[in-house]
Amino acid sequence: MHTTTTSPDALRVEMVERIRKAGHAQRGEVERVLRDTPRHEFVPDAELAVAYDPWQAVVTHRFEDGRSLSCASAPWLVAAMLDQLDVQPGNRILEIGAGTGYNACLLAQLTGRADLVTTIDIDPDVTAKASGALAATGYGDVHVITGDGGLGYPDHAPYDRMIATVSPWDIPAAWWQQLAPGGRLVAPLRWRGQGRSVAFTYTDGRLVSDSLHLCGFVYLQGVEDEGELSGPVTADELVTLHWDRDQAVEIDALRGVLDQPRVTAWSGITIASNESHDGLWLRLTVTDPRVCRIKVHADVPPEVCDPIGGWWRMALVDGDTLIYLTARRLETGDDVCWELGAIGHGPAAAKLTNYLCDEIRLWGPERNQRTPSLIVHPAGTPDSELAGPAIEKTHSRFVLTYDDVAL
């Protein structure tokens, strides 16, 4: 039940104002539909203040082990992805991941006809609740389909716009086939352990990005999402490594690596307490095929593993050596900042920690001002047609470049 006395309309106005101040909902039509749509009716079990918190996702379904199965994305991220999608009146739209039905409701308003929107989800409980919420808010003509989103929905193809609100590891073959030439696809993709919402235009048989946003999403469930591997590096399995299947990682060579002597190096590059360092990780996905992700349970003491704070942490593996990004607090008068560095274990730890600090110094002067372009080619595209080294997926070849030149 809702316990706050502030009206939904007032909270919605405040939510949109805060989102716009943060740089999202820049398209007038996106701002309009956010202002007009009663989000609380799609998350009826959430307090009003939570339903209209710009930064908070609302989990609506969980796996038996407690992991999130489905949720209503944080409103700022909904706005950012709708900005990326650039829906035009009359567009035919496919959404992968029905969630609560809220995003499908926004899409229906943006295209102007609810029957032009199809939303698909693998979980029948999710689709049943989304369908009910859409009908209750006047958008019952949206097509709500129970099925594997990785297979798309060919009955209503081709689509002018496709948006995934679950995170795929690859662009499934069906999405390539069902997206109209010149159409746009927005998907929270994963490569080298990190995730970005990427906006593409489908042109000349390839997908070319024009924006990337840092994000995290529930993973796509189904037959098309089996590319990320993981394994423990500690006996208690509280520290795990996550990598792509095209990477040369032998997890058996890394088990127990944290028991080896620790090597620490510092870069001299500092960031403010509220400053992102994620551009460093993104840059390394362009320049170094060894970069991946380490996950550290909260019970692990820092003397065992001490990565920089955050949900996802950058690591680098070379054979039987593991290094990861770390930070230390520095205080200079009234100012507090964090110096970035590297911690390593294994035979090549000294060499690789110094290497990572050199990369931090290269990234530091421009910080997050430079964003690479991601071009996705169909699998089988010859190397001669690529602008740089490829990250190999099942149906696609990802090529990241800066200023059209791979580093």
pLDDT digits over 358-376, tens only?
999 999 998 877 788 999 9
Closest CA to 243 of 316, 289, 206, 192: 192
**Structural contact between residues 94 and 153, judged by C-beta atoms closer than 8 angstroms:** yes
**Structural contact between residues 38 and 8, judged by C-beta atoms closer than 8 angstroms:** yes
For the record, the structure tokens of 167 come out as: 């995170």
Q: What is the mean pLDDT of residues 10-38?
A: 96
DSSP 22: T
Q: What is the SS3 assignment for 142?
A: coil
Percent of the chain with pLDDT over 90: 80
**Structural contact between residues 110 and 104, judged by C-beta atoms closer than 8 angstroms:** no
- Each residue of 287-315: pLDDT tens digit? 999 999 999 999 999 999 999 987 779 99
> What confidence tier does 3 reach under pLDDT thresholds 50, 70, 90?
very low
Q: What is the mean pLDDT of residues 189-206?
A: 94
Q: Note if 396 is an active site residue.
A: no
For the record, the structure tokens of 340 come out as: 């970035």
- Each residue of 127-184: pLDDT tens digit? 999 999 999 999 999 999 999 999 999 999 999 999 999 889 999 999 999 999 999 9
Q: Give the pLDDT score at 6.
A: 82
**Structural contact between residues 328 and 254, judged by C-beta atoms closer than 8 angstroms:** no
Per-residue pLDDT at 356 exceeds 90: yes
Instruction: Tell me how far apart the alpha carbons of residues 327 and 307 are, in angstroms, rounded to a whole number.
Output: 7
For the record, the structure tokens of 39 come out as: 């989000």
The HSE-up count of residue 35 (CA atoms within 13 Å, CB side) is: 13
**Structural contact between residues 162 and 175, judged by C-beta atoms closer than 8 angstroms:** yes
| Residue 321 parent element (H or E) | strand 321-332
- Residue 107 burial (10 A CB sphere; 0-12, 13-18, 19+): buried
User: How does DSSP assign 93-111, residue by residue?
Assistant: EEEE--TTSHHHHHHHHHH
So what CATH class is 8-214? alpha beta
Q: Give the pLDDT score at 407.
A: 45
Q: What is the mean pLDDT of residues 113-117?
A: 98
> What confidence tier does 57 reach under pLDDT thresholds 50, 70, 90?
confident
Q: What is the mean pLDDT of residues 53-76?
A: 71
Q: Give the pLDDT score at 74.
A: 92
> What confidence tier does 405 reach under pLDDT thresholds 50, 70, 90?
very low
- Residue 252 burial (10 A CB sphere; 0-12, 13-18, 19+): exposed
**Structural contact between residues 24 and 84, judged by C-beta atoms closer than 8 angstroms:** no
- Each residue of 246-282: pLDDT tens digit? 999 999 999 999 999 999 999 999 999 888 898 999 9
User: How does DSSP assign 248-302, residue by residue?
Assistant: ---GGGTTTGGGSPEEEEEEEEEEETT---HHHHHHHHHH-TTEEEEEE-TTS-T
Q: What is the mean pLDDT of residues 345-356?
A: 98
> What confidence tier does 67 reach under pLDDT thresholds 50, 70, 90?
very low
For the record, the structure tokens of 124 come out as: 């029948």
Per-residue pLDDT at 91 exceeds 90: yes
Q: What is the mean pLDDT of residues 185-207?
A: 94
- Each residue of 322-343: pLDDT tens digit? 999 999 999 877 788 999 999 9
Handedness of CA 141, 81, 18, 59 (dihedral sign): positive
Q: Give the pLDDT score at 375.
A: 96
Per-residue pLDDT at 185 exceeds 90: yes
Closest CA to 376 of 198, 223, 162, 217: 198
> What confidence tier does 2 reach under pLDDT thresholds 50, 70, 90?
very low
> What confidence tier does 321 reach under pLDDT thresholds 50, 70, 90?
very high
Q: Can you give the pTM of this predicted structure? A: 0.90
> What confidence tier does 199 reach under pLDDT thresholds 50, 70, 90?
very high
43: left (phi over 0), alpha (psi -120 to 50) or beta: beta
Per-residue pLDDT at 222 exceeds 90: no
* Catalytic residue chosen out of the listed positions 7, 68, 70, 209: 70
Amino acid at 181: P
Question: How confident is the prediction for the chain on average, in pLDDT?
Answer: 91
For the record, the structure tokens of 56 come out as: 């908070």
Instruction: Tell me how far apart the alpha carbons of residues 126 and 138 are, in angstroms, rounded to a whole number.
Output: 19
Handedness of CA 88, 93, 95, 100 (dihedral sign): positive
Residue 383: what are its φ and ψ, rounded to 5°?
Answer: -55, -30
Q: Give the pLDDT score at 70.
A: 59
Percent of the chain with pLDDT over 70: 93
